[in-house]
Structure 1
C-alpha cells in the first residue's frame, strides 16, 4: 500500500515503561506464547492488543479489551489525528502506558508487541487489514460485516486457514442469551417447520446530492480513508462517522442497511436455521415483478422478508407451523407464551454458548479453538448482505449457488461479487 508523508505520522503516549512500572505498578508486557506455535499461554503472560480504527463502535472495544486481565493495550491506529489522540487518552485512562500511535496500520502490524488486533474501520477496509494482520501472525477481532464483497469474504476465509489464525467477527448478538434461546427453540423444531422469517432493518437516506466540496481537513489522511474505493473529492458527508448515515449511506463503503442491521439479524437467522455453512438460493428486491418487500429464499422454501410488518415489535420473527419466536436485543417472546421457558436437555440440539463476545475471542486465542463467529461463519452471513445489495442495485432477482458460491445466469451480477480496487490498494495475498 502507498505510504503518505504527514507532519504527524506517529504519536506516542510518552511514558517510560520502566518508570510506569515503578510508579504505577504496571505489569511488564510479555508476548503470549500462543502466538505462532498454538501452545497455551504462560499463566503470567499478557497479550498485546492493537486497535485499528478508533471511532464509534471502537469506543467500547478500547475500554473493554484494555480492561481485560489477559491483555495489554500497546498500539492504536487511526487516520484521523484527533480520534487517535482521543483513543490514546482512553487507553491511558485504562492504565495502558507506552502506547504506540500511528496513522498507518502496516506500521502497527510490524510492531512485535502486538499479538492481536481489533479492526473497527469502515467496511471497505475490513478485508485488506484483516488479511494483512493474519499474514503478520496476529489474531483478529473484526467488526461486522466481515467484508465489503463476496470475493473479499472468500479471501479472508482462505487467509484464516492459510495462516492458522483466530478470527472473530463482531456479530455480538451470538453471545446474547436471548438470541441463543431463540436459536435453540428454532433448531429443535419447537415451533414446527419454519416457513417464513420477518426481519426489521429500517432504512438509510440516500447519499446527499450537490454537497459542498471542501479542502481535506488537517490531520486527516483522506486518500488512505478512501483506500481501494474510487476517488471522489472530499466532502464532510462522505466520511461522516455516525450510526444513522454518513459513509454508511454510500454503496462504495458498505451495503447500506443490509450491511448494517442486516449483518446482525441475517447472521442470527443463519444460526437459528443451522445454515452457517450454506446460504439462500434467490434474492428478490422490492419492486421486482410486483414484490412489495425485499426478500430472499432458501432451497427448501424458507423465505426471509425485510420490513414486511411495520408494527412488528421484535427485530426478528420466526414463523413456524405450530408457533413463533420473536427476538430482539434484550428481549424474547414466543407463541405459545410458555414456550420461552422450555428447559433444554442433553438430548436437545444446543448451539455454541458464549456470554461475552470479546471474552470468547480471547479464550479462543488462548485455546486455539474456533470462536463463536469465525471467518467462515461471518463470510456466509456477510454474503447474504452483499447479494441482497446486488439485487437491490440491479433491481432484479438473482440466483445464487451456495455450494459453488457463484451467482447463476447473470454475468453483471456475478461481476459484482467483487469490486475494482484502486492502484496501490490491492488485496494482500
Structure 2
C-alpha cells in the first residue's frame, strides 16, 4: 500500500484552508461543517456542418433515447440514423429527431452508411458483443451501454476488436465522468478517508416500473416486432411480448440486477480507488414479489472481497438491491475508511471525518473501583492517545455541483466526443468495462450456483 504523505495533513488542506477561502462555512467548536461548490470547464465551439460527428443509434428503447438525447446536447453532434426491431420506436425516433433521420430494423444497414462516425449501442445485453464488434469492424467509434458483456467469455473479443480497429470504444456507465466521481477520486488519493475498509451500496425500489414491468404498446404484434431477430443466439422460444419489452427479467437476454445496477457501482468504485476489482463474491436473495414470469431475483445481497493492491488495502464490499422496498425508494454509495467516510453521488460528495475513540468510557470502567478508574485514566492521559489535533480533525464537508450542472451522463458523452476529435481520453475503455461487468456478473454466478465464486481481476477470468 502506497502511503500518501498528505494523509496526516489532509484536514488542514481540505477543510481549514478551504473554509477560510469559502463564503460563510460553519466552523464548529468540536469540528467543522461546510459546503463547497464543484466546477468543471468545457470547450464550447461552433462546428460547421462538415465538422459534425454523425451519430447512429442502435436500440431506440428507453436507455437508447436517454443516451441520444444527452449526446445531442454536446456541441457538434448530429443524429443521422436509428435502428430498432419495433417499428413504433422508429416512429418515435422521427417524432423526436425529425423525418430526415434514416430508420431501419436491420443494424447492418446502419453500419453500412459511410456518413456515420459513431454509434450508440443500447440493445438488450445479449446483443452487445456482436453489434459492438461489427460496428468496430465497420470503422465506427462505439458507445456501448453497460454491462459491456452478458457472459464472462465475451469481453476479450471486444477488447481485441477495439485494439485492431483503431477506433474508440467507450462503455456507458453514465456516472463515470461525473463531478462527484472526479472529486471522490481526488479525495481518496489525497488520503481523505485513510485506508478503505468497506463499501456499502444499496438500491431500493417500490414501483412496477422500477422492477422492470415496462408498458407494452397496444400496436405490438408480429408485424411491428421482429421477434426472431431479437432472440439472436438466445434459445428459441415462442413469440412473447413480455420477453421483448421486459427483457431485463430474463437470463436469456439480460444480466439481472447485477448487470443493470451493480455494474454502475463497480465502475465508480474501481475508478475512484484505481482498482481492477474484487477477487471473490458470495450472493444470496430470491424472487420475493414480482412473480411475473421472470427468472432473476428481485431481492439480492452480494458480498465481495477486494485484495490488497498498491492503490488500496484489502477490504469488503456489500451490494444490496430490493425491488419491493416497502415504500422506501432510495439508494446510496458509501466508502468507509480508517480515518473517514465518503458518500458519493454524481452531483455531490460528502466527506465525514470522525474521532476514533481510544480511551475507555463508562461502559468498560464500571467493573473497577473508583481508585482503579482514576489510575486507568491517568495512564491513558500519560500516553496522550487523544491529542488536541485528533479532536479538531473531525467534521463534515460536502462538495456539490452547481445548479446548472449538466450531469455525469453529459460528461461521459462529452469525453467520448472530445476523444473522437483527438482532444482527450475516454475513462471507460473495454478493459475497464470488462472488469466492471465481470465483477457484477460474479453475483449471478454465485447466486445460481449457490456458492462463493473466485475471480482473477487482472486476468479477467473465473477461477
The verdict on a shared fold, with TM-score over 0.5 as the criterion, is: yes
Other-structure match for 1:255: 255
Q: Deviations over 1:67-119 (max 9, x none)?
A: 54422322110110110111122111xxxx63221100011101111111111
Once the two structures are superposed, the pairs formed by residues 362-373 of structure 1 within 5 Å of their partners are 362-367=417-422, 369-373=424-428
Report deviation, 1:42.
Answer: 8.9
Greater strand proportion: 2
Of 187-196 and 362-371, the range deviating more from structure 2: 362-371
Deviations 1:109-168 (A, max 9, x none): 011111111111111111111110000000011111111112212211111111111112
Is 1:302 the counterpart of 2:315 in the alignment? Answer: yes
Matching residue within 64, 71, 86 for 1:58: 64
Q: Which residue of 2 aligns with 1:407?
A: 462
- Structure 2 vs 1, CA of residues 231 and 64 (structure 1 numbering), >3 Å: closer, same or farther? same
1:177 aligns with 2:179: yes
| Structure with more relative contact order (C-alpha pairs < 8 Å, separation 6 or more) | 2
1:44 Cα deviation (Å)? 4.4
Indicate yes or no: 2:88 matched with 1:85. no
Query: Cα offset for 1:308?
Result: 9.2
Q: Partners of 2:264 and 2:52 in 1: how far apart? A: 31
Determine whether 1:231 maps to 2:239.
no
* Higher radius of gyration, 1 or 2: 2
Instruction: Tell me whether 1:333 sits opposite 2:335 in the alignment.
Output: no
Partner residue in 2 for 1:283: 281
CA–CA separation in structure 1 for the residues paired with 2:145 and 2:451: 29
The 2-side partners of 1:316 and 1:91 are apart by 35
Aligned positions of 1:108-147 closer than 5 A = 108-147=110-149
**In the TM superposition, what whole-angstrom CA distance separates every residue of 1:327-369 from its partner, at most 9, and x where no partner exists?**
2343432213434459xxxxxxxxxx99711111111011075
Q: Indicate the residue corresponding to 2:433 in structure 1.
A: 378
Separation in 1, partners of 2:436, 2:415? 19
**Deviation string, structure 1 residues 274-328 (Cα, Å, up to 9, x no partner):** 11xx2211111227xxxx9421111223111012999997521111011111123
What is the SS of the residue equivalent to 2:164?
helix
Written as runs of structure 1 = structure 2, the 5 A alignment for 1:314-329 is: 315-329=332-346
- For normalisation by structure 1, the TM-score amounts to 0.72
Q: Specify whether residues 293 and 52 from structure 1 end up closer, same or farther in structure 2 by C-alpha distance, changes over 3 A only.
A: closer
Residue number among 219, 223, 227 corresponding to 1:218 in the alignment: 223
How far has the Cα of 1:187 moved from its partner?
2.9
**Inter-partner Cα distance in structure 1 for 2:235 and 2:170:** 29
Unaligned runs of 5+ in 2: 1-46, 214-219, 286-299, 309-313, 354-394, 401-407
The alpha-carbon distance between structure 1 residues 222 and 157, as it changes in their structure 2 partners (threshold 3 A), is same
Contact 1:284-1:295 within 8 A present in 2 as well: yes
TM-score (norm 2): 0.67
Given that 2:306 and 2:315 are in contact with CA atoms closer than 8 Å, whether structure 1 keeps it comes out as yes
RMSD across aligned positions (CA):
3.1
Report if aligned partners of 1:195, 1:302 keep a CA contact under 8 Å in 2. Answer: yes
Question: What's the secondary structure of 2:133's corresponding residue?
Answer: helix
The CA deviation at 1:190 is 1.0
Distance in 2 of aligned mates of 1:354 and 1:66 = 12
Change in 2 beyond 3 A, CA 1:43/1:141: same
Instruction: Measure, in 1, the Cα distance between the counterparts of 2:336 and 2:181.
Output: 15
CA distance in 1, matches of 2:166, 2:156: 15
SS at match of 2:284: coil
Q: Distance in 2 between matches of 1:106 and 1:84?
A: 16
| Compared CA separation, residues 356 and 398, structure 1 to 2 (3 A) | same
Contact 1:317–1:326 (CA under 8 A) maintained in structure 2: yes
Alignment partner of 2:223: what SS? coil
Provide the C-alpha distance between the structure 2 equivalents of 1:268 and 1:189, rounded to a whole number of angstroms: 17
Aligned to 1:418: none
Q: Distance in 2 between matches of 1:190 and 1:297?
A: 22
Number of residue pairs matched?
339
Instruction: Please say if residues 187 and 274 of structure 1, whose CA atoms lie closer than 8 Å, have aligned partners that are also in contact.
Output: no
